[in-house]
Amino acid sequence: MPDQPLTRRERQREQTTAEILTAARHLLAADGPAALTLRATAREVGMTAPGVCRYFPDHRALVQAVVADLYRDLAADLEAARDARPEAPTAERLAAAARALRRWALTNRSEFTLLFGKPDADAGTAPTDPAHEASWRFGQVFLGLMTQLWREGSVPTPRTPEPAPTWWSQFDDLREHLTEDVPLPVIHRFVQAWTRIYGLVALETFGHLDFTLADPEPFFEQALADVLGSLTPAAPAV
CATH number for the domain that contains residue 102: 1.10.357.10
Question: 176 or 204, which is more confident?
Answer: 204
Position 6 scores a pLDDT of: 73
Confidence of residue 191 (pLDDT cuts 50, 70, 90): very high
**Average pLDDT over every residue of 127-131:** 85
pTM: 0.90
**pLDDT tens for each residue of 215-226:** 999 999 999 999
Position 159 scores a pLDDT of: 82
Position 118 scores a pLDDT of: 79
Q: Are 72 and 135 in contact (CB under 8 A)?
A: no
Same domain? 52 vs 81: no
Same domain? 73 vs 38: no
Position 22 scores a pLDDT of: 97
**pLDDT tens for each residue of 24-66:** 999 999 999 999 999 999 999 999 999 999 999 999 999 999 9
Same domain? 130 vs 76: yes
**pLDDT tens for each residue of 4-28:** 777 877 788 899 999 999 999 999 9
Inside any domain, residue 176: yes
* CATH number of 20's domain: 1.10.10
Q: Are 97 and 142 in contact (CB under 8 A)?
A: yes
Same domain? 41 vs 78: no
pLDDT, the chain, mean: 91
Inside any domain, residue 237: no
Same domain? 115 vs 50: no
DSSP character for 81?
H
Same domain? 185 vs 102: yes
Look at residue 3 and tell me whether its pLDDT is greater than 80.
no
Q: Are 50 and 38 in contact (CB under 8 A)?
A: no
User: How many folded domains does the chain comprise?
Assistant: 2
Inside any domain, residue 155: yes
Look at residue 236 and tell me whether its pLDDT is greater than 60.
no
Could you tell me the residue range of the domain that residue 200 belongs to? 66-231
Position 235 scores a pLDDT of: 52
Rounding to the nearest 10 degrees, give the CA dihedral for residues 181, 185, 191, 196. Answer: -150
Return contacts of 47-50, CB within 8 angstroms, 24+ apart: 47/20
Inside any domain, residue 85: yes
Alpha helix ranges (H) inside the chain: 8-31, 38-45, 49-52, 59-83, 90-107, 109-112, 132-152, 172-175, 184-205, 217-231
